[in-house]
Amino acid sequence: MDPTARDDRLLATTRWTAIVIIPVLVAAFVILYLFPSRTQDLWAWTVRPTMTPMLMGGGYLAGAWFFLRVARTRSGHQALSGLLGVCAFTSMLLGATILHWDRFNHSHVSFWAWFGLYVVTPLLLPVLWFNNRRTDPEMPAIDEVEVPGPVRAAFATVGAVQLLLAFLIFVRPSLAVEHWPWTVTPLTARTISAFLAFPAVTWLLFATDARWSSFEIPVESATIGLALILVATVRASGELRGAAVAYGAALVGALVWLLAVQLTMRRRRRHSTRG
């Protein structure tokens, strides 16, 4: 099949799946980010200290933005890198749930919403990714803006390192229990590793695709998530320990990097359009 002949429209099943997921993620953000000290009453399990639920809440709102943008886009390829990252994220959270089954509040509706979401999505999202992948022309459009090679290499390198870190924490959560900038348990360590894996998979895919349109939505989403986590770090500064300064500096550096890349690529797109 000629790649240039493929219809790059986002499939309707993907659009409707995104629409259904958005309110679930927004609700998770409200509970975890705005009421981080009430997880015992409102969430699937008790999460302490407050820095962890706020990190999760920031990640969930970033995910809601990703699916909102996916629901509004016309091009299927714009969802691919992010969908693959979400596949890794949901699979890891399902694994964490099974491994730490006894830590969850099985009598709370939030647990069954959590469990249902992470049973269905690891099966559904790969199918959506594969079906949309089949329609991807894999070639830049005439007006496409391409990401410079050094920027792609930087993203891919960070993605590889971050994905390795996420894998190590998931396999050996004791590493995070000992060295993380705030107190974590094996369950929260594995949960955080899933939030690390989501963008890491996307960054790694920069090595195989030069189209900025393939990464614009997940980069926007990661920027929102990082900004919210940075605010959470200030709010929960009293809970930080050890490598807190290095952690905060890494957040600020990553946020500045993502903003700079977006501004640069948007400027290139404006110049390309005018040209």
Give the mean pLDDT of the chain.
Answer: 92
Q: Write down the pLDDT at residue 7.
A: 67
pTM for the whole structure:
0.93
Residue 265 contacts residue 145 (beta carbons within 8 Å): yes
Please enumerate in sequence order all residues whose Cβ is within 8 A of that of 60, keeping only pairs 6 or more positions apart, or say none.
Answer: 25, 26, 28, 29, 32, 33
pLDDT for residue 1: 40
Which pair of structure tokens corresponds to residue 262? 């977006």
Can you tell me the distance from the alpha carbon of 122 to that of 138, in angstroms, rounded to the nearest whole number? Answer: 25
CB 144 within 8 A of CB 212: yes
Using CB atoms within 10 Å of the CB of residue 133, give its burial: 0 to 12 exposed, 13 to 18 middle, 19+ buried. middle
> Tens digits of per-residue pLDDT, 87-98?
999 999 999 999
Tokens for 56? 């999760």
The residues, any chain, with a CB within 8 Å of residue 48's CB and separated by 6 or more, are: 39, 183
With bands split at pLDDT 50, 70 and 90, how would you rate the model's confidence at 137?
confident
